[in-house]
Amino acid sequence: MVKGFLLDKQTRVESTRPSANSTMQHTFTSSSQMRLPKIELPAFSGDHTQWISFKDRFTAMVHDVSDLSDTVKLQYLLASLKGEAATLFEHVQLIEGNYASTWDALLKRFDDTKTLKREYFKALVDLDGMTGPTPEELTRIVNESRRLVRGMGRLKEPVASWNTPLSSLVRYKLDVETLMAYELATSDVQEDTFETLMEFCERRIKILTNSVVNKANRIETRQAIESRNPRKEQASPRKTCMQTQRQYPTSTLACAAQTPRRPPRGCEVCHADHTLTKCPSFEKMTTQDRQRVVKEEALCFNCLGKGHQARFCRVGRSCGRCRGRHHTLVCTQDTKVAQARNEGNITATTQVEVAKQGLVWLSTAQVLVCNEDGVELPARALLDQ
């Protein structure tokens, strides 16, 4: 009786359990009804460094598919070719017998191991260097370097033992700032390896990317705050000084002294955006005032620039009046000549008056002479009558 009860229970359980075959069939049916994303055909433009990837993908997607006719395969093949590669097979007819010959011709043209090795290495050598320390430029270097090295590895090249040549080639493509950062980060490393360089560049890409994002966020935040809280434009000390100069041209030095803060560049007198030689206020000064400004501002007497003295000045120009080693605006030749003429007239007058009294005087003249440094000195010369 007990045995009959157990057998009856077992029969009921087995009748309610789904069979394994029915479950697998249901799963297969559901999978076959699921639509996968459309896969684009690979493209090939004739670049040898893209041939291996194109060949692998096209073979798996089209060439080895037995359900496709040769006519359809040829149509897919011609649609995948671009640029130079498409030109080679431009006039191939879409007939079933042309697929095998077209595929063989493509293999003969591009599937050459020796040529591929040369082209991969040449592409790495000719890779354009970075134009600046930006994450986009560094990403381009890393991606292309890895792609080309992997391609040479597919061609059975011993890239694992090429650490020195590969790392050197890539380092030559880095900008100065990135290269200095790499040298600092690997100062304790005894040997350069390609993988070490790539890992450093990938870490730096993350740092640069985060820095750019943070900087952009700060700028947007500041602009948003300024747009909500507009401030009235305040007159700067430079603007006030320029207005004073227009009203009172002779008070330039006083205005410059009242300026609380001097900008790092600009005119030393009025602080406008021009050099001292182009300053109207400086030109209106007397020669003595101009010399005083040059001395107080520690400027070069030759070029009126900052940071050096006249004897160290690299400007080849000299004074346009006396050819001395100083600027024309600080030359005192006109003043000295006028003084010499006045003293000469006084001397001549004295000689005439004394001559009337019956005395004999020797005639002299006040002249200017230049020493070996080009500096003018007043002197009295005896005239031979």
Burial 310-326 (b: 16+ CB within 10 A, else e): beebeeeebbeebebbb
Burial tier of 245 (Cβ tally within 10 Å: 0-12, 13-18, 19+): buried
- Left, alpha or beta for 266 (phi > 0: left; psi -120 to 50: alpha)? left
Any idea of the CA torsion for 49, 53, 54, 55, to the nearest 10 degrees?
110
**Token pair 């100065």 in the structure block, residue:** 176
Pairing of strands 376-382, 364-370: antiparallel
Of 159-163, 259-263, 371-375, the poorest mean pLDDT is in 259-263
pLDDT for residue 385 is more than 70: no
CA dihedral 227, 231, 232, 235 (to 10 degrees): -120
Q: Could you tell me the pLDDT band of residue 380, with boundaries at 50, 70 and 90? A: confident
Whether 108 has a pLDDT exceeding 90, the answer reads yes
- Residue bearing the bigger pLDDT, 223 or 267: 267
Is the pTM higher than 0.85? The answer reads no
Q: How far apart are CA 52 and CA 65, in angstroms?
A: 19
User: What is the rounded distance in angstroms from the CA atom of residue 320 to the CA atom of residue 327?
Assistant: 8
pLDDT tens-digit series, residues 282-333: 888 888 888 888 888 888 888 888 878 777 787 767 787 777 777 888 887 7
| Mean pLDDT across 359-368 | 73
For 161-218, write each residue's pLDDT tens digit: 999 999 999 999 999 999 999 999 999 988 999 999 999 999 999 999 988 766 666 6
How crowded is residue 131: how many other Cβ atoms within 10 Å of its Cβ?
A: 10
Tokens 């947007």 belong to residue: 220
> Which DSSP letter does residue 298 get?
T
pLDDT of 53: 94
